[in-house]
Amino acid sequence: MRARVFVTLKKSVFDPQGRTIVDALQSLGYQDVVDVRQGKYFELDLATTERAHAEKLAAEVADKVLANPVIESYRIEVD
Amino acid sequence: MRFGIVVFPGSNCDEDALYAARDVFGQDAEYLWHKDADLKGADVLILPGGFAHGDYLRTGAMARFSPIMAPVRAFAERGGPVLGICNGFQILLEAGLLPGAMLRNRGLKYRCEHVYLRVEQTDTPFTSAATAGQVLKMPIGHGEGNYFAPPEMLKTIEANHQVVLRYTDPQGRVDEAWSPNGSVNAIAALCNDARNVVGMMPHPERACEALLGGVDGRVIFDSIVRSPKGFALQGIGRRLQPSQTA
């Protein structure tokens, strides 16, 4: 199975890269883009066919390694 | 006193730290490879600057899985003095030996310059020779030194007086304009609750000789080497049984 892990800075944490990007977009005339949050995207190929196991594995990897819980949160999609 | 300098693949200030301890301060000093299982009787540990394991995921994120970190953690938990400099500070945060996390610098740029720092606490093994309120000038070189802690954590850190150094202007006044990275509460150095583990973004090992542009970093080494508290710590590594550090 494949798991996709999206890691982003928590809403309460200032994202200097996202801020810079939204400023750049607005200077290009995209006034309707009001905010940008930059994050990280991981694709995990998993040697399992069980959805529950895949979800558990991806969550464990995200908790322990891919995300820092002090500043980041994550979302997982499995298929 | 015997210094152990922990070397990760990607560390690049390990030689500077060893040079400061051995050549400037005349102490025993030895490298500890990240795959080593013991601390070779070190009395004090330095996690030096650099880019441990490449810092590809997050700064310091992979270093905490290095084998040496188990005895480092045991040493820290038994009160052994541990100093993380720059990337070493980032590693201590990721390893949970210090609270909080690092973000990209507010201005997104890698900052390589001298900064002014105010000494906030002198009851740590690395600031005991300093005086509270003293202003130090030291070099920095980092892209992710924007220290962050969530509000509740920050409240605890301040209540416990764990902020060891703050970025200030040359007169020792906290001023946002003089912060190189946007750290919350201008935090440049931090200690744990037990005060034996200290992380700092500035590089004291690069500020120990006038030839290198300043000697304000000496007080950090003087604290651990020459102060009464430093002497009290002497031999702590040798007193630990191998089973306790494994």
- Distance, in Å, from the CA atom of B64 to the CA atom of B67, rounded to the nearest integer, reads 8
- In this prediction, residue B240 has a pLDDT band, given cuts at 50, 70 and 90, of very low
Task: Look up the domain containing A27 and give its range.
Answer: 2-78
Going by DSSP bridges, is the β-strand pair B187-191/B197-200 parallel, antiparallel, or unpaired? Answer: antiparallel
Contact B103 A9 (CB under 8 A): yes
Enumerate the residues of chain A whose CB falls inside 8 A of the CB of residue B98.
none
Q: What is the phi/psi pair of residue B151, to 5°?
A: -50, -45
Residue whose tokens read 């690092």: B102
Looking up residue A32, the CATH number of its domain turns out to be 3.30.1280.10
First to last CA, chain B: 21
Position B50 scores a pLDDT of 96
- Concerning whether B86 is annotated as a catalytic residue, the answer is yes
Residues in B touching A71 (Cβ below 8 Å): 101, 103, 148
DSSP letter string, chain B: -EEEEEE-TTB-SHHHHHHIIIIIT--EEEEEETT-SS-TT-SEEEE--B-GGGG-SSTTTTGGGSTTHHHHHHHHHTT--EEEETHHHHHHHHTTSSSSEEE--TTSS-EEEEEEEEE----STTTTTS-TT-EEEEEEEES--EEE--HHHHHHHHHTT-EEEEEE-TTS---GGG-SS--GGGEEEEE-TTS-EEEESS-GGGSSBGGGTB-TTHHHHHHHHHSHHHHHHTTHHHHS-HHHH-
Can you give the pLDDT at residue B228?
A: 56
pLDDT at B242 over 50: no
What is the total count of domains within chain A? 1
CA distances for A24 relative to A35, A37, B105, angstroms? 11, 13, 18
Contact across the interface for B103 and A17, Cβ inside 8 Å: no
Interface of chain B toward chain A, CB-CB under 8 angstroms: 57-58, 61, 93-94, 100-101, 103-108, 146, 148-150, 153, 182
* pLDDT number for residue B229: 52
Taking one residue from A and the other from B, the number of pairs with CB-CB distance under 8 angstroms is 35
Say whether A70 and B146 touch across the interface (CB within 8 A).
Answer: no
Would you call B205 a catalytic residue per the annotation?
yes
- pLDDT recorded at residue A37: 92
Tens digits of residue pLDDT in A5-46 = 999 999 999 998 999 999 999 999 999 999 999 999 999 999
In the set B34, B53, B86, B120, the catalytic residue is: B86
Domains parsed from chain B with CATH numbers = 2-245 (3.40.50.880)
